[in-house]
Structure 1
Amino acid sequence: MTISATVALWFLPFVLPICLYVAYTDMALMKITNKAVILLGLIFVVLGFFLMPFDSYLWRLAALLIVLAVGVILNAAGVLGAGDAKFAAAAAPYVALGDLRLLMSLFMVILLAAVVAHKGAKYSPLRRMAPEWVSWEQTKKFPMGLALGPTLAIYLILGALYGA
């Protein structure tokens, strides 16, 4: 992996709770809150400044802006939700460019697992544990936070374990 193990280890304890919160709120409310997205971005801005070479830090911030622009376009086209676009943009700086292929593969696997788990729980007795969740009633929308949050969390865990 291209990400530094030290950098991933520093980010992980701050980012992991946010990733879990995003997965939960997207299932329960079909919303990824602005507070979570802003906090995720601020953590990178503050810690990244101290953890990375300045030129790398700036390129990663540029990735945030690029992903945000693409997300706004995709949201306007109705392809994904605004919260999904904002979370992806706030998560982008955490990913080393050399790990992009790995991240996309990881996301595909986690998305498939999330869809299977969500649909399986929706049509099983597990649904009674959280009967008020908005995502159960959705027919055309899926709580992408259930895949986006764990993807970033698992990427950082793998980075902490196997990073450069």
Structure 2
Amino acid sequence: MFIPSAAAAWFLPFVLPTCFYVAFTDMREMRIKNHAVMALAVVYLVVGLFVLPPWAGDWISGNLGPVKLSLPVYVWQLLHIVVVLIVGILLNAAGVMGAGDAKFCAAAAAFVWVGDFMLVMIILSATLLGAFSAHRLAKHTRLRQFAPHWDSWDRGKLFPMGLTLAGSLVIYLILGIIRGS
């Protein structure tokens, strides 16, 4: 994995409560709240300054479209937010994903290293299968009685992707602590 294990270890305690809140509110209300997305972005902005200080770390060269740039890791990770937000807006406009999901993905993108993209897609796929199966199983069994008024039970084919997205980010950071560079 490309994410530094120290960075993952610092991010996880701050990201975990926010991800738990996102998963819970998305199952309960079928929406990811803006303040949760902002909290996730602020965690990267603040904790990232100490974990990946732009004034002390190495600068990495890369291309931003046709322009070749050399920027600190902290700034490259911030650019992930912009790129993923633009893609998310387009996917939301096409009706492929919800606006909250798109915003959460953008905020979470700052925590994901480019070299780990395929691993994150595998984690996301596995988490989606597990979360969807568990949610549908709970929906049609007595487990539903633990939270009988959640909106996600009665939305037909719609599924609370916040459960999957938040879970995937947490799993990625845990794996980053264990297997990170």
TM category, shorter: over 0.9
- Determine what percentage of the aligned residue pairs are the same residue: 52
Deviations 1:79-117, CA, capped at 9 Å, x for gaps: 100000000000001011111110000000000101100
Which amino acid in structure 1 is aligned with residue 11 of structure 2?
F
Which amino acid in structure 1 is aligned with residue 51 of structure 2?
L
Within 5 Å, give how 1:60-139 maps onto structure 2. Answer: 60-139=77-156
Q: Give the 3-state SS of the residue equivalent to 2:49 in structure 1.
A: helix
Which amino acid in structure 2 is aligned with residue 116 of structure 1?
S
Deviation at 1:141, TM superposition (A): 1.3
Which amino acid in structure 2 is aligned with residue 49 of structure 1?
L
Aligned length: 164
* Aligned structure 1 segments of 4 or more residues deviating by more than 2 angstroms: none
Q: Identify the residue that residue 59 of structure 1 maps to in structure 2.
A: 76
- The worse-fitting range, judged by mean Cα deviation, of 128-137 and 138-147 is 138-147
Deviation at 1:46, TM superposition (A): 1.0
**TM-score calculated relative to the size of structure 2:** 0.89
User: Structure 1 CA distance, aligned partners of 2:111 and 2:53?
Assistant: 14
User: Structure 2 CA distance, aligned partners of 1:49 and 1:70?
Assistant: 26
Deviation at 1:53, TM superposition (A): 5.0
**TM-score calculated relative to the size of structure 1:** 0.98
Q: CA RMSD in A?
A: 0.8
Q: Identify the residue that residue 49 of structure 2 maps to in structure 1.
A: 49
| Structure 2 spans left out of the alignment, 5+ residues | 55-71
Matched, 1:21 2:33: no
Larger RCO: Structure 1 or Structure 2 (Cα < 8 Å, ≥ 6 residues apart)? 1
* Max Rg structure: 2
| Structure 1 spans left out of the alignment, 5+ residues | none
Which amino acid in structure 2 is aligned with residue 66 of structure 1?
V
Q: Identify the residue that residue 11 of structure 1 maps to in structure 2.
A: 11
The answer to which structure has the higher strand fraction is: 2
